[in-house]
Structure 1
């Protein structure tokens, strides 16, 4: 209206607008634009703030779900890394655009109705012709938005598959390079990427069609409205033309530009929401450890004894703690108790067969304070699964398990994050310098740290790639031992080092530093069971025999076979030749001279040439 009055003032044939009114019209044009800018930008900032909160909340929810996820189910374990990465990046970001445009679904009908009414006051029935042409495209836009959401789901699934393949290739890159499999795996990844790109191209063509419609239909609607207005024998002035163009520009802004985007982004966010819902509904392990994942209490800090070190801004400060870490508390008679415990591996393909894959069967097991329990058995007998059950990473089908006190765990495959050696050992705990030095010594890491360029402040690579296998295993063990726990679960930590270092770690760490703690040691080195208070022999997911070392050796044939096989393996190592030991404690296995001729060098030759 202000624009129409301003144009009429500059029209020579129309002298009904005075100079004062023209200034008022001009002030109205500028003022309404300023009001629009003053209201629009704070609203956009508020929408961005809300979208950021939603995205962060979804990422936090996914992280907390991962802490409770039951990894025994097929849906949770198959391609989990790629799926979670896609949820945290692509799917979570969909809420940013959806929050920006979801208000247009409400604003567009109201604003469009007001604009159509004002256009009707200007050119009458002719305005309805152009508006009807625009409205005809709304069902098409909704249909194209629905197709876009389907393509978005297909793209997400294929992106999950590609990320899973890339993660597996990166983890196995050493073997791929050794066997010169780069081209083969490159073709596999290229094929997965091609499938993903096919769907992305379809989405791009679809968006091109939608944008073309946006650019074209507004111009056609203006042409139809002006032709209809002239066909009704009405006079067309410059003021009416400018006003009609302005109204259609506003209608294009709401009805044509932002409504299709609002529909598309809302449907894509709905697809992402469904994917997150599917992930959040996956089975969880039993939450009976008293840890509240919804509230993080920063006030509960671990108290230390003696001198500990705080590091900040490159400076070292030594402060003495006020309370004791080793304060004597009343401990229960039994720390871990399992009664008729039975668990199964579950299948994602058929829920009816979930109880046919046995994990553990009729386990009766207990751990007492200040005791060393050794679990032995053949490969695949269920030793590591028993530790997973104590950690409550497996949901029981029958029986019960009770765990009292704090549990520390050292996995069979050591895991390190990209930080310094000290940070990998402390793992977020306060530095107790006396305990830290004791842990370094008993885990046989002192010489290794002295050889590193920056000592224990040396930054290891991703997954500890700059360290050897023996060093990674000992750092993982040191992280577990440094924790103040009542029960220490050690999953074969002596297998990655040679016999000399393994014996020193067993004597100084397990029997020495942890002598007043409950330790559950899984090992293939049966001769270490001589010093255990309790020995369990696993077979087929069951505890076949348990008792003291002398009882089992004198009356259990299977245990005697394990002992004999261990002794023969030790004798064979001595007969072969002298072993060569790295500085990190790992052993270089010597070769039989008869076996050198049997080595196949073709993969390595192919890789060179």
Structure 2
């Protein structure tokens, strides 16, 4: 019972400490919204739930200590009573010998053994956690591809070592075959083959389950290529980038990432500090590279309007940045690292159309034109510049190719329309007129699918755009 109580106490204590850490980390927000009483009640409830088991454990400990002091007298009384009832003669010699024997056994039996069992159960809680950690799958280190150019590989198991140098290599007796690599030495690339990954299993009291992140993904990205990933909300676009970052657990397939990664998340992250510190992010300061990152991320005008330029403090203790400014600072942080592979999770959604076009032309198509770039986006006007488009739904790639290859697929147009309407619906909750209104998206899609022979946008959709213009006109405008 004491062991069971200790396990439950440890579990409830961990939960309370975890909640308390979250409260301390977000104490500024809690103070700002005057949520002190609500969170204090949460902690009090967790503590009361914990004290229930602490009280039960204390009762068992009290019984152990009470047994230690009362057991000697009770056992001697019981032994003498049984000795007399069995017809034996009781003498002082036998009484003192029995008392000495029971007193010698009392300490280890009534105190040491119970406390040893208690500490054993407590250590069992820690051992279970260590065991759970050790039973996790080994982390698979990303391996760079090994290449051989204009050379010959000789295995110690190969036959014919004394013959001509050009003797073809044979498979060794371990069944290992050597193949010539097709990549150049040091070339950055990302390659996935039938890759399936899941999020780490969520442990609970009675179940353990893992949510699928991506399924059966095949992707090949080389330097100078722009890979666009599109699809409806929740289709696995961000999960694909997380898988490349090794934040998911591989189930099947293979993934090779050769090169240094830079990542710009969909939710821009800014820490308390200056804008320069947020962009450098611990990297050495390089004036030329820094100014280039500022320029291509359209931050020059914003920095000129701040009181201390790029030395202005931002975050919880400093100047409040808008959503678009945060997104551009986050993008500049990734650009400044001068990595080989760039994973951009919809960085253009937080800025207006003019700034978005500037970022796409100057940063993605300009500064990053020689890099491996994987761009998640829902803005269809940028798809014509992509070397490859991945159309995702339900964590899977249902179609891939260039815009000319995909524009004849009805599924492609349907998913783009669905994605645009979803984002416009979200934006309309905060703005009366958004840069991604359905009518604008229809026009953008019409430009993409425009063809001399065929088009996927029916004329009824075009008419609906003109009808929208008419509805927006006042009665005086109609008369004119």
How many residues are matched?
A: 357
The aligned counterpart of 1:591 is none
SS of 1:364's partner is strand
The aligned counterpart of 2:446 is none
**Is structure 2 residue 227 aligned with structure 1 residue 373?**
yes
Deviation at 1:288, TM superposition (A): 3.0
- Distance 1:170-1:550 versus aligned 2 partners, 3 A rule: farther
**Is structure 2 residue 272 aligned with structure 1 residue 427?**
no
**Residues 301-337 of structure 1, C-alpha deviation per residue, up to 9 Å, x if partnerless?**
xxxxxxxxxxxxxxxxxxxxxxxxxxxx966677111
* 260, 267, 274: which one aligns with 1:413: 267
The aligned counterpart of 2:78 is none
Give, in whole Å, the separation in 2 of the partners of 1:265 and 1:465. 52
SS of 1:397's partner is strand
Give, in whole Å, the separation in 2 of the partners of 1:363 and 1:516. 24
Q: Give RMSD over aligned pairs.
A: 4.7
**Is structure 2 residue 48 aligned with structure 1 residue 194?**
yes
The aligned counterpart of 2:412 is 559
Give, in whole Å, the separation in 1 of the partners of 2:251 and 2:48. 43
The aligned counterpart of 1:339 is 193
Deviation at 1:458, TM superposition (A): 3.9
Give, in whole Å, the separation in 2 of the partners of 1:459 and 1:331. 43
Contact 1:286-1:392 at 8 Å conserved across structures? no
**Residues 449-488 of structure 1, C-alpha deviation per residue, up to 9 Å, x if partnerless?**
4444444344444699954433333222222221132110
> Structure 2 matches for 1:177-326, cutoff 5 A?
183-200=37-54, 271-272=125-126, 274-289=128-143
Contact 2:143-2:258 at 8 Å conserved across structures? no
* 318, 328, 333: which one aligns with 1:479: 333
Give, in whole Å, the separation in 2 of the partners of 1:557 and 1:497. 29
- Distance 1:279-1:565 versus aligned 2 partners, 3 A rule: closer
Give, in whole Å, the separation in 1 of the partners of 2:25 and 2:352. 25
The aligned counterpart of 1:531 is 385
**Is structure 2 residue 243 aligned with structure 1 residue 400?**
no
The aligned counterpart of 2:349 is 495
Give, in whole Å, the separation in 2 of the partners of 1:264 and 1:450. 66
Deviation at 1:259, TM superposition (A): 13
SS of 1:480's partner is helix
TM-score, length-scaled by structure 2: 0.60
- Distance 1:193-1:504 versus aligned 2 partners, 3 A rule: farther
Higher helix share: 1
Contact 1:285-1:393 at 8 Å conserved across structures? no
Give, in whole Å, the separation in 1 of the partners of 2:138 and 2:269. 23
> Structure 2 matches for 1:59-98, cutoff 5 A?
none
Give, in whole Å, the separation in 2 of the partners of 1:537 and 1:277. 41
SS of 2:250's partner is coil
Deviation at 1:515, TM superposition (A): 1.4
Deviation at 1:489, TM superposition (A): 0.6
Contact 2:199-2:249 at 8 Å conserved across structures? no
TM-score, length-scaled by structure 1: 0.48
Give, in whole Å, the separation in 2 of the partners of 1:463 and 1:152. 42
Contact 1:525-1:566 at 8 Å conserved across structures? no
The aligned counterpart of 2:98 is none
- Distance 1:268-1:398 versus aligned 2 partners, 3 A rule: closer
Deviates more, 1:525-534 or 1:270-279: 270-279
**Residues 119-150 of structure 1, C-alpha deviation per residue, up to 9 Å, x if partnerless?**
xxxxxxxxxxxxxxxxxxxxxxxxxxx94x76
